Structure 1
Amino acid sequence: MTDHSAKILFIRVDPSLPHEAVERLMREGFEVKTPSNPCQALYEMYADPPDLMILSDDLSASEGERIARLIRADPVFRQLPMILLLQTGADERVDTWAELQLSDFVAAPVSPQEVCIRSRLCLLRSNLELDANPLTRLPGNNTILQEIQRRLDADQAFALAYLDIDSFKAYNDRYGFARGDDALRMTARIVLNAVVNLGSGSGFVGHIGGDDFVVILPMPQIESACREIIANFDLIAPSLYDETDRRQGSLLLKDRQNRLCRFPLMTLSIAVVPSEGRGFEHVGQLVARAAELKTAAKAKPGSVYLVDRRLLVDSAHTDGLSTAANFSPSPAVLS
């Protein structure tokens, strides 16, 4: 969603009267709708969901508060960003507005230009917050895909590392979601610290979801990052297990067929795909190659990273993932 495709629900006492902020928002490309009366706001939201709600300064304090509470109590729209246009002398109700978790406000006298600026910033924050992984606060799927495509469109040379925690499901089943979340947060910190330690201003870390992460770095730095990530993960991960399981080096659990199986302790599988010389035009092509390589990495014991060194000119002569050497922590190479 961009500014110019954003829908704004502007709630007023009398929508038939002109309002400078509404006119300014529409001139700048926003799609602005005003319900026939404030009481119809929720109904119209379900009919055509907005991206942002603005409570006009011609609403009484009690009416604005009633609408805000109604929205925040709704299971569908409780996360909807809301901006309040304050009436003169409304400062004494600041505590009430904070309680209702309003996204922003514009103080009287209301400036139409300020309403537009705050609307853009509010929509930007909302998009970032919705996309960020709620557990690790790292950028999520949409931001990851946009970042990869942006670099491809700019013809930047980079490498994508696709990380997956092996045996995470077994750990989660054994110890529960709370400790599973701790393991994910620990992994996120390890990955982020490795990228930060390189001092690269062009680095990027994202959390796809579950136990999958991505790192984007220049190719000369990506292998150093992988080695540091694996070394620190293998150092810390055993401490997440109870002593008995740690000594045994595995977990005894039932698999999906209800059979007792031993699952090894958590390790990392990392697939590294450079962008240069491979003819990638779309993010989907690069992600598909990384997913293919990750499958090969997960077939190997221990923590490993595989680097795809197949060039575009060789792709027609490469039969799948035929040549991959084992390593730990040294890299395997597809050639």
Structure 2
Amino acid sequence: MYPGLFSGTVPPVPHDLAEAFAPTPRARPSRIGRRQGRIQLTRVGPRLRACTAERAKQLPERNSAADQQPRGSGVEGVNAQPPVRTDRGVAAPIGRAGTSEDGDRVLVIDDEPDIAELVGVTLRTAGYAVEVAHGGNEGLALASARPPAVVLLDVMMPGITGLQVCEALRQDVATATTSIIMLTAKRATADQVEGLRRGADDYITKPFDPDELLARVETALRRGRKLREVSPLTGLPGNFEITRQLDSLIAEPVQSFALIHADLDSFKPYNDRYGFLKGDDSIRTTAEVLLRELSAIGTKPRFLGHLGGDDFALLVADESAEEVANRIVDAFDAIAPSLYGPLDAQRGFIEVRARDGGMGRYPLLSISLGIATTRRRRYTTAHEAAAVATEMKEVAKLHPGSTWRIDRRAGP
């Protein structure tokens, strides 16, 4: 019920790369550039190739083992990823993560090899793990095999276009929530709107500045991390943020907080009787009750998170724990009957068929709260506090109806 717990600054782009991105009026446009109207994006000639090669020499020394795996949270050599076989052969990451968080991998899909190489070097210099695909089909294969955090996608490509790739990414369950940034030479608003309608999150117009590229990638990653850290059902912070908040309070020199583990009673039979959609409604209603009663308390800390299912975690001031618990119990009991049909609400129970074929009788939903406080003990880890709160919650469940129990034992 408590998975894993209860159980920036953008680096400056080197001047030579900034020059490489700038349009060169006297240079001859590439064949693909002429065909697709990318006059500003000139062929990467000897000067640009030399620039890229020179920058590669300045990057950290690589070896065959470390180069195939991203690095996150300051730990090198974890989560090694095997090469992916695509329609163009075996594709391997061209870079590795530096300072980026674990999983912040960027996939570049661009049919122009020189541009893809340049974007890849820019991102790698900034510390991102990068994979490059030189066509739509290859990009889809890579994205499906190892879903990236961000896709930089060229709009105008031969064969399957960038817009078609964008739609396919959104339809694949593995990449449905991946951030997609379109790279486009089209400046017309209608073209950009079309990309957003197809599922893109952002766009960059060519020619683009490397600083803008890095800023937009970091923005997409930050937004993606925030979305991953909230419950899609209630919109409340999830397990990672709950752990961070608890760790922060435990690290205080003088601890003064209470952790409350809230859990619904008789939720499974309710789900069986009314279906999962009504079950979701009851969880959202519970979240609203918890948030409203928590907001009425003037003391701090004041935090509410959704652990998943019908479990929630609250962090409050030690001296406010009992008051918050009483308010929650009273408020939930007042609203619980409204979650039922008139007949069930009037008689105060529901009948649900048990596994043995007989009918079981279950009371209306209630809420049990377990409270771990710092009143008589000091916690050294989040897991220790969570274990005490969960233990108290189980004690509360031994009693009928909505209730709470608080740990009053002295710590070691």
TM-score normalised by the chain length of structure 2: 0.69
Cα deviations by residue, 1:235-255 (Å, 9 ceiling, x for unpaired):
111122222222222122233
Task: Say whether 1:280 aligns with 2:379.
Answer: yes
Q: 168, 176, 184: which one pairs with 1:78?
A: 176
Following superposition of structure 1 onto structure 2, how do residues 180-195 of structure 1 map, counting pairs within 5 Å?
180-195=279-294
**Percent of paired sites with the same residue:** 30
Aligned equivalents of 1:52, 1:43: Cα separation in 2: 15
Task: Say whether 1:124 aligns with 2:222.
Answer: yes
Structure 2 letter corresponding to 1:192: L
Following superposition, the deviation at residue 224 of structure 1 comes to 1.8
- Tell me the equivalent position of 1:50: 148
Farther off after superposition, 247-256 or 73-82: 247-256
- Structure 1's 126 and 33: CA in aligned 2 closer, same or farther, altered over 3 A? same
Aligned equivalents of 1:82, 1:257: Cα separation in 2: 50
Farther off after superposition, 4-13 or 160-169: 4-13
Following superposition, the deviation at residue 213 of structure 1 comes to 1.0
Cα-Cα RMSD:
2.5
- Tell me the equivalent position of 1:243: 342
Task: Say whether 1:160 aligns with 2:259.
Answer: yes
Cα deviations by residue, 1:72-93 (Å, 9 ceiling, x for unpaired):
2223212211112332424321
Following superposition, the deviation at residue 56 of structure 1 comes to 4.0
Task: Say whether 1:147 aligns with 2:277.
Answer: no
Farther off after superposition, 6-15 or 191-200: 191-200
- Tell me the equivalent position of 1:302: 401
Aligned equivalents of 2:351, 2:409: Cα separation in 1: 39
Aligned length in residues: 313
Following superposition, the deviation at residue 128 of structure 1 comes to 2.2
Say whether the 8 Å CA contact 2:109–2:116 is kept in structure 1: no
Say whether the 8 Å CA contact 1:162–1:272 is kept in structure 2: yes
Following superposition of structure 1 onto structure 2, how do residues 104-115 of structure 1 map, counting pairs within 5 Å?
104-115=202-213
Structure 2 letter corresponding to 1:180: G
Say whether the 8 Å CA contact 1:88–1:109 is kept in structure 2: no
Aligned equivalents of 2:110, 2:386: Cα separation in 1: 47
- Tell me the equivalent position of 1:211: 310
Cα deviations by residue, 1:164-184 (Å, 9 ceiling, x for unpaired):
111122222222222222211
- Structure 1's 241 and 106: CA in aligned 2 closer, same or farther, altered over 3 A? same
- Tell me the equivalent position of 1:331: none
Cα deviations by residue, 1:21-70 (Å, 9 ceiling, x for unpaired):
43332222111121244431122224433111111477589822122122
DSSP 3-state at the match of 2:133: coil
Following superposition of structure 1 onto structure 2, how do residues 318-329 of structure 1 map, counting pairs within 5 Å?
none
Aligned equivalents of 1:287, 1:193: Cα separation in 2: 23
Cα deviations by residue, 1:129-178 (Å, 9 ceiling, x for unpaired):
23322221112223222322233234553211100111122222222222
- Tell me the equivalent position of 1:67: 165
DSSP 3-state at the match of 2:279: helix
Say whether the 8 Å CA contact 2:167–2:199 is kept in structure 1: no
- Structure 1's 56 and 4: CA in aligned 2 closer, same or farther, altered over 3 A? farther
- Structure 1's 61 and 195: CA in aligned 2 closer, same or farther, altered over 3 A? farther
Aligned equivalents of 1:113, 1:240: Cα separation in 2: 52
Structure 2 letter corresponding to 1:195: L
Aligned equivalents of 1:308, 1:44: Cα separation in 2: 51
Aligned equivalents of 2:195, 2:305: Cα separation in 1: 33
Aligned equivalents of 1:111, 1:19: Cα separation in 2: 15
- Tell me the equivalent position of 1:268: 367
Aligned equivalents of 1:170, 1:221: Cα separation in 2: 33
Following superposition, the deviation at residue 299 of structure 1 comes to 0.4
Say whether the 8 Å CA contact 1:4–1:29 is kept in structure 2: no
4+ aligned runs moved over 6 Å, structure 1 = none
- Structure 1's 98 and 37: CA in aligned 2 closer, same or farther, altered over 3 A? closer
Q: 7, 10, 14: which one pairs with 2:112?
A: 14
Say whether the 8 Å CA contact 1:160–1:275 is kept in structure 2: no
Cα deviations by residue, 1:238-274 (Å, 9 ceiling, x for unpaired):
1222222222221222334433222111111000112
Structure 2 letter corresponding to 1:258: G
Q: If you compute each CA radius of gyration, which structure gives the higher value, 1 or 2?
A: 2
DSSP 3-state at the match of 1:180: helix
DSSP 3-state at the match of 1:281: coil
Following superposition, the deviation at residue 101 of structure 1 comes to 2.1
Following superposition, the deviation at residue 212 of structure 1 comes to 0.9
Task: Say whether 1:96 aligns with 2:194.
Answer: yes
- Tell me the equivalent position of 1:290: 389
- Structure 1's 239 and 57: CA in aligned 2 closer, same or farther, altered over 3 A? closer
Query: Gapped runs of 5+ residues in structure 2?
Result: 1-71, 74-99
- Structure 1's 199 and 119: CA in aligned 2 closer, same or farther, altered over 3 A? farther
Aligned equivalents of 2:353, 2:390: Cα separation in 1: 27
Aligned equivalents of 2:408, 2:158: Cα separation in 1: 65
Query: Gapped runs of 5+ residues in structure 1?
Result: 314-335
TM-score normalised by the chain length of structure 1: 0.84
